[in-house]
Chains A and B, each alone.
Chain A
């Protein structure tokens, strides 16, 4: 894999930097109007593949003896539904449970892209005419993805909070929880809520991003062993296999945590203090 980039005077840091940069496409003026199209294409494709497969099974779902595919989908369905049922005690079927299923499966699929060898993906991209031979295949290791998800959940949280308690109730809660309704604790209450509202999306998104980014960096570092020769390549492959196996746990666990936090935040928005 080192030979591929020989013309760039490859150093370990340039190799890693190369694989951690995005295929960016400017869509307007200014540094904000840039689209990481590798992240975007991967996430949208994965989202529609995964949810499309589930939809395909759900469309032919029978209440009789289920096929193996339906049994598997129902297993996932039941798992997510049980988790939501334990946390949220309203009508979960209309929105929160399907959202949790979407988040879990989508994040799981995006995290799973970490198992694909980075240089192979880059090679395929180069083969089809990509100019830089790089491709960030793990959308969740892009802060934009995790922050988009967390921010969407955050907006939903405020939306449900206002929907359930009314705008007055929402504002009342901003100033009167958690310390009480006395006017002299209003600033403290407001400060606490402000910190909570800021920290929620940050911790939500950065947890997932940090785990996936770190996982990718470790894969890249293990990939560097290939530059030390045959024995180094074998050694790196063994370590990479070990890290992949361990990474299965991280991929599933982070998807699960992200889903649980989504459900918890949305459930909390439905509760009045």
Chain B
């Protein structure tokens, strides 16, 4: 329990150790730890940023999706409208064509009828002339009465 030179020796050793720690041990550890702390803080901030960016992107994609849906339904509506329009048009065209055909047929029928009437008329006239000729052979001179006869035939 006696104080002696060991005290001074130990104090010197202590001073050397403190110097060593201050100079060589503490700074690299401090640098490494602080760098890591900064790195972690940066990482967390980046993660937060990414999270918010993801949220924005999700919102944006939802908006875009809704727009696309709306557009699609619009296009479908237009297409349906156009389709029914085409069908209506086709129906109208068909009707007109049919009417035209019918009209043509009717005209032809009228024509045929008139021709038939004409031929019938001429036949009846000649028949009447023939009949009258037969009746009047004896009394009437054909040449004398031919004018009257042809008038008659024209009136038929």
Contacts and interface: CB of A to CB of B under 8 A. Distances in A.
B9 A98 contact: no
Interface in A77-130: 77-78, 93-95, 97-99, 101-102, 106
Contacts of B87: none
Contacts of B79: none
Main secondary structure of the interface of A (DSSP, over half): helix
Interface in A204-241: none
Contact of A34 (B5, B20, B22): B5
Contact of A152 (B1, B15, B25): B15
A43 B28 CA distance: 25
B8 interface: yes
Contacts, number: 124
B26 A39 contact: no
Given A43-B13, A44-B13, A77-B33, A33 B3 contact: no
B17 A51 contact: yes
A40 interface: yes
A151 B15 CA distance: 11
A98 B10 contact: no
Contacts of A27: 5
Contact of A32 (B5, B18, B22): B5
A226 to B, nearest CB: 26
A58 B28 contact: yes
Interface in B17-57: 17-18, 20-22, 24-33, 35-36, 39
A61 B18 contact: no
A74 B9 CA distance: 30
Contact of B21 (A44, A51, A62, A151): A51
Interface of B: 1-11, 13-15, 17-18, 20-22, 24-33, 35-36, 39
Please list the 3 inter-chain residue pairs (A to B) with the smallest Cβ-Cβ separation, ordered nearest first. Answer: A63-B35, A148-B10, A144-B6
28 contacts: A28-B5, A32-B3, A35-B4, A40-B9, A43-B13, A47-B13, A51-B21, A58-B25, A58-B26, A59-B28, A61-B29, A61-B31, A63-B31, A66-B36, A70-B32, A74-B32, A74-B33, A93-B30, A98-B21, A101-B21, A102-B14, A102-B20, A106-B17, A148-B9, A148-B10, A148-B11, A148-B14, A151-B11
Interface of A: 24, 27-28, 31-36, 39-40, 43-44, 47-48, 51, 54-55, 58-59, 61-64, 66, 70, 73-74, 77-78, 93-95, 97-99, 101-102, 106, 139, 142-145, 147-149, 151-152
